[in-house]
Amino acid sequence: MDMKGKTVLVTGGSRGIGKAVALAFAKEGANVIINYISDEEGATDVIKEIRGFNVEGLAVRANVSKAEEVNRMIGEIEENFDGIDILVNNAGITKDGLFIGMKEEDWDQVIEINLKGIFLCTKAVIRKMIKQKYGRVINISSVVGVIGNPGQVNYCASKAGVIGFTKSLAREVASRNITVNAIAPGFIETDMTGVLPQDIKKSIVGTIPMKRYGKPEDVANAIVFLGSSKAGYITGQVIHVDGGMAM
């Protein structure tokens, strides 16, 4: 999947799935920009790895839930690159808790980053994709956005919203040679799942037909495929990378 000359933006790209995605695209020859909000050290390290593949790399700090910061980020990217060919909307947070005790601010923060962030980042790049008659938008949803999960009403709602967003936008821009798809990861070995107690981890593995957590690279491989020319006739789809959880 040679992507030489393509430019990719990965939001939330300083660690976990985002880092794996950024490195996977760089390995295929793409220039990669990663977005981050607080992990500057991690972002710097990822850029060093990206440039190790003899491609261009850039890290830009921005809160994806703030329109002015997103627009500034895109402006900085356009000063250094012709434009963005592939957008991977990966940035996301959790603020878990049972619904009865969930604070309004915890609801708002999750929806703003996980769902509004995708709206703002896509809005900022889609006009140029339409003009150039080419683009790939890949949104990160979640298996729990499909099946639900106790204690994550806000997170599940945001990830279900990502699926609706994906399918609707795919219908709007398909005639312009722009594909819009979503990846729904299951439980992946990241910082987010690493903090779970061992008994919870064990019970989760029991629900996965493949009896193991996924790795960030499992998700990255699917995303790189959707960003490639080989997936040019795939749009509006939700690809599950979950070891069979949502069969």
CA distance 225 to 246: 21
Q: Which of 36, 134, 155, 213 is catalytic?
A: 155
C-alpha distances out from residue 233 to 177, 190, 229, 247, Å: 9, 31, 9, 23
Known catalytic membership, residue 213: no
> How crowded is the C-beta side of 34, counted as CA atoms within 13 Å?
33
Look up residue 137 and give its amino acid.
V
Instruction: For 124, list phi and psi in degrees, rounded to 5.
Output: -70, -20
Structural tokens at position 115: 């769902």
What residues act catalytically? 155
